[in-house]
Chain A
Amino acid sequence: MSHTTANTTTPTAMSLRHRFSLKRFFAGEGPEPGPIFLAQRRVYILPSRMGVYFAAMMLIMLLGAVNYNNSLAYALTFLLASIFFIAILHTYRNLLHLRVDVGQIPAVFCGEIAQVPIMLDNRRSAARYAIKLQLRNQQHTNVDITGDQWQRNKVPLRTTHRGRHTVPRLTLETGFPLGLFRAWAYAQRDVCYFVYPIPDQHHPLPDESSYHLDLQGDRGHGTDDFAGLRNYHAGDSLRHIHWKTVARGQDMFTKQFGGDQAIELWLDWDSLPNLDTEARLSRLTRWVLDASATQVNYGLRLPNTHIPPGTGSAHQQQCLQALALHDITPDADISSS
């Protein structure tokens, strides 16, 4: 993970032209690298439909007050109008200065619903109510956040295409407290997630003939296959630090990599000539899952990718990712599902 909080929040970083561009208004800022701070310029507000009705109602009330020369009718109309104006500030405030971040999204198989962790950080002592979280074109979730609280919410995300996708734009929306105004803000993080191909129905693994005995493996240090953890030594590359344990608050470990040798099962693209691309990927996905379950050493051969045999969850993940990305140009990554 890399974060650049400080730079995304400085208001001076935005030019005036950018600030008033309509694209921001309709589409948001685009993917951003760090946690997103909902500064003044990022929160938009307009009257809701009910707000428009209320404004019309107040106009009629004003006409009535004029017509009947009724002072208290004037007073009521003006009080409601004032409440209307004050509601702008309250609704705006309900979103303002909220910090939004998107966590790592666990990979899912295509068609499953991914749970996107949305982290909301409310550093104000007052609570924020009825905030609607909605990923673009997805179902929404409503949340309340009490004051001075950091909160993790799961927002559903339907998956329709395999591949590696950037998490879609998140819209935070609120009408609280009066529902007369709708304030909203866009937040899109540059977090990616994998959608694996749909696993095929159960098919037996390729027969014994596909097994190969490979004696060429090595056991030395390397960078290919994860081999284990050892204690962190000063000077170790930060890239190899095992952050998961760091995150748990344990001591620091450095990841070690190496190779292995074993009996190998090759899951081969070319062994399935009668199927079309997606069906082949589905079948191979099924086989990767089954092979992992049997703890056999397996490798994956795709037209452009070659994954040497291995075991373990990291290996499985690598294979599934390769399957997900098969034949997908890097440009297509950006398109959200």
Chain B
Amino acid sequence: MNMSGFQQRVKQAKAENLWLLAGLALAFTPHFFRLPLLVMLPSIILLCWRLLFEWRYLALPPRTVRWLLTLVGILATWIAFGTLVGQQAGVGLLVIMLCLKLMEMNAQRDVGVVIGLGFFVVITVFLFDQSIFMGFYMLLVVTLLVTALIAFSRDQSVIPQWANLQKAGAILMQALPLALLLFFLFPRIPGPLWSLPADGAGAGTGLSDSMSPGNISQLSDNDSVAFRVQFDTPLPLPQKRYWRGPVLTQFDGRTWTNPYPQRLTTRLSINAQNQARGTPSLYTVTLEPHQQRWLFALDLPAIIPPDSRLSDDYEIIANQPVRQLVRYSMRSFTDYRLAKDDIPNISLYLQLPEKSGIQARQLAQQLRQKVTDNAAYVQTVLNYIAEQPFYYTRQPPLLFDDPVDAFLFDSRRGFCEHYASAFVFLMRAAGVPARVVTGYQGGEMNPQSDYFIVRQSDAHAWTEVWLRGEGWRRIDPTAVIPAERIENPQDLARILPEMTGAGTTPNWLKKVGRQLSFSWDRINHTWNQWVVNYNTQRQQNFLSRMFASAGFDNIDWQQMISLLVAGMTLVMVVVAVYLLRPWHRRNQDPAQMAYERFCQRLSQRGMQRQPAEGPLDFAQRASQQYPQRARDINNITVLYERQRYTPYPTQRNLQQLQRAVRNFIV
């Protein structure tokens, strides 16, 4: 097939179908990386089939084959997901059925159906990804689908196709102000309207609810954002920036786990045990979706965000997994006393597996016997870690038989999880109640804006021990490792909060890179605040503030609707005036205007042209009235008729007419 033959085929193809296929291919692309290949591969094949059909290389399958393909498609979806309902399976089914529809898209109506379904595919992409990039990418897809709609509404595809694209662009630009008004003013209804099918959609990137220190040989260095924080009060000191997450209390010798949800049955009154000191930190957290139920807060939370609960271990647990960006206001006391005199279920914090850590238990006994009370014992163990050759590394060796003993007496190399695990083990072995706390530690201010960024690489594990009379005390055993035993200097700042800014000075390239990444993060943060997380509450706040500045009290949904209708009407009128140009309505041709001037002259003399009277009849009547002007009247009428009702009016004729009218005197 030579090139010109191919171009010929492209030209023969229906323009609207090509636009449509391009739009669909782009709409499918994000799903391609997310949905099983078993669903996406057949879809892509069907899409290509349709394209080859448009180029006249392939025929469409007959009806029996189409039925067969439909069955195969449903089967593939069912095999890939194990179900046909639920979010992921539903999207898979939509994609594959849409592609099957391409196999029988012949009638005009079918094209409309497929374009409509294309818009649905766009919406399903948003269920998984609402990033700023995806937003603009899908705007491109919508443009292509609208172009398909335009090409489809024209029967001939004669004019260049870019004109259709241009038209789509113009329509989108005109629609944008309306869309913005609708977005901000349309009263947001708090969902969901019906319960959503539980769906393990997407792998979480956040913290898990278990910890197995011996099983990881490489700590990932994931710089993606875990959450962002806007502080209303001054930033807490670096050593106080512990963001509490899952608390792990159960240990089986290898893995620490969280006992929730069995223990959610008891609920604490948040202020009963918590004896807060000082002034609270007030801040708002914007948490990225991580598919788990943890909400993070600065140690120690003093309030519970809506739709969530507090566990006995002061974890905040949302009622639903965090599948979308959530935003909650928090209050925390960084100085606190917790459970000073007594804790319920003390045995929970003393639990140890039967057969592991034999050496560790002996070590605990030895060290405990040297001192008189538990507080001194804690310090002794910390000293032990600081003095013995323990190293901090992000690439620890794997630990096999008995991870606790192997770490404490053999490898002595690890990161926070190893130290937290070993420390709690030593505490419990000496009868001191203790637990592992995971979460994030540290974070950094975006210097270009007013918020604080906590990244996945800030994930941390530390411990809490309970001392009678003092309550739970936070101990971070990783922090006692001396600087010279930290393998990578860049980890210094991570481990020792007081030493932020230490380590190597970044060169200018790194500086620029950091600036750019902060700028980009700020854009993302704004997008999250104003687009992704624009919900009922935020709408209420924003519009109330706007409304208050205009001198009104508050805003309710009726006022929102009124504002919306008024705004949309205004925009529509502006666009209508721009498009329809009613003042151009007359836009008459000069011959008509000259003739009307002539009629006007006559009417001034009482010679009124009747509504249904044609120029010839009128001329005859006027000639009878003014016989001395008959020649002029006839001349003007003839010139007018000639100008108006011949296929090729001339400029000369027009000038003659205009001159004749000018010179016409009754």
Question: B residues 138-172 with Cβ under 8 Å of A?
Answer: 138, 142, 146, 149-150, 152-156, 158-159, 167, 171-172
Report if A89-B579 is in contact (Cβ < 8 Å); known contacts: A1-B645, A53-B116, A70-B324.
yes
Q: Do B646 and A249 have beta carbons less than 8 Å apart?
A: yes
Query: Which among B117-125, B395-403, B433-441 touches the partner chain?
Result: B117-125
- B576 contacts partner chain A, Cβ-Cβ < 8 Å: yes
A4-B172 in contact given A72-B138, A247-B645 (Cβ < 8 Å): no
A114 at the interface (CB under 8 A from B): no
- Are A81 and B182 interface neighbours, CB within 8 A? yes
| Given known A2-B614, A76-B122, A175-B153, contact A249–B192 (CB-CB < 8 A) | no
In contact, A82 and B638 (Cβ under 8 angstroms) = no
Cβ proximity bits B100-139 to A, threshold 8 Å, 1 near / 0 not:
0000000001001100100110110011001000110010
In the assembled complex, B497 has its CB within 8 A of some CB on chain A: no
B580 and A89 form a contact (CB under 8 A): yes
Known contacts A73-B123, A97-B584, A124-B584; A177/B138 CB under 8 A: no
Question: A13 CA to B611 CA in the complex, in Å?
Answer: 10
Which B610-624 residues have C-beta < 8 A from chain A? 611-617, 619-620
Query: Are the CB atoms of B193 and A2 closer together than 8 Å?
Result: no
Mark interface residues in A55-66 (1 if CB within 8 Å of B CB, else 0): 001000101111
Chain B residues within 8 Å of A97, by CB: 580, 584-585, 587
B509 adjacent to chain A (CB < 8 Å): no
Q: Are B614 and A238 in contact (CB under 8 A)?
A: no
CB distance from B45 to the nearest CB of A (A): 27
Asked if A130 meets B580 with Cβ closer than 8 Å, knowing A2-B615, A78-B186, A86-B575, the reply is no
A152–B194 Cα distance when bound, in Å, is 59
Q: Nearest Cβ distance between residue B326 and chain A, in whole angstroms?
A: 10
* A130/B155 in contact, CB under 8 A: yes
- Residue-wise, chain B 589-619 has the 8 Å CB interface mask toward A (1 for contact) of 1001000100100000000000111111101
The chain B residue sitting closest to A232, CB to CB, is B638
Contact count band on A: 35 or more
Min C-beta distance of B417 to chain A, whole Å = 34
**B587 adjacent to A179 (CB under 8 Å):** no
Is A93 engaged at the interface, CB distance under 8 Å to the other chain?
Answer: yes
Contact A177 B175 (CB under 8 A): no
Cα A93 to Cα B179 with chains together (Å): 21
Which residues of the partner chain A approach B134 to less than 8 Å between Cβ atoms? 72
A334 at the interface (CB under 8 A from B): no
Let me know if B637 is at the binding interface, CB within 8 A: yes
Contact A238 B191 (CB under 8 A): no
Which among A39, A80, A180 has the highest number of chain B CB atoms within 10 Å? A80
Q: What residues of chain A lie closer than 8 Å to B150, measured between beta carbons?
A: 176-178
A261 in contact (CB, < 8 A): no
A109 within 8 A of B: no
Q: For residue A247, which residue of chain B has the nearest CB? A: B646
Q: Are A93 and B580 in contact (CB under 8 A)?
A: yes
Known: A66-B192, A238-B634, A247-B645. A82 touches B182 (CB 8 A): yes
Per the 8 Å Cβ criterion, residues 73-106 of A in contact with B are: 73-83, 85-87, 89-90, 92-93, 96-97
Q: Please, how many residues of chain B have a CB less than 8 angstroms from a CB on the other chain?
A: 88
Contact B531 A82 (CB under 8 A): no
**Which residues 85-143 in A have Cβ within 8 Å of B in the complex?**
85-87, 89-90, 92-93, 96-97, 123-124, 129-130, 142
Q: Is the CB of B585 within 8 A of A39?
A: yes
B158, B174, B612, B653: which contacts A4 (Cβ < 8 A)? B612
> Within 8 Å of chain B (Cβ to Cβ): is A304?
no
Residue of A nearest to B175 (CB): A82
Nearest CB in chain A to that of B325: its residue = A71
User: Cβ of A72 and Cβ of B175 under 8 Å apart?
Assistant: no
B81 within 8 A of A: no
Q: Which of B575, B587, B615 contacts A3 (CB 8 A)?
A: B615
Q: Is A16 an interface residue (CB 8 A)?
A: no
Q: What are 28 A-B contacts defined by CB distance under 8 Å?
A: A2-B614, A2-B615, A40-B585, A53-B112, A53-B113, A66-B189, A66-B191, A68-B192, A68-B196, A71-B532, A74-B188, A78-B178, A78-B179, A79-B175, A80-B142, A83-B171, A85-B175, A85-B178, A85-B572, A86-B178, A97-B580, A129-B154, A130-B155, A177-B167, A179-B153, A235-B631, A241-B638, A252-B638
A50-B109, A176-B154, A246-B638 are known; give 10 further A-B pairs, CB within 8 A. Answer: A5-B592, A63-B193, A67-B196, A68-B127, A71-B535, A86-B174, A176-B153, A178-B150, A234-B634, A238-B638
A residues with CB within 8 A of B:
1-7, 13, 33, 39-40, 50, 53-54, 57, 61, 63-83, 85-87, 89-90, 92-93, 96-97, 123-124, 129-130, 142, 144, 152, 175-180, 234-235, 237-239, 241, 243, 246-249, 252
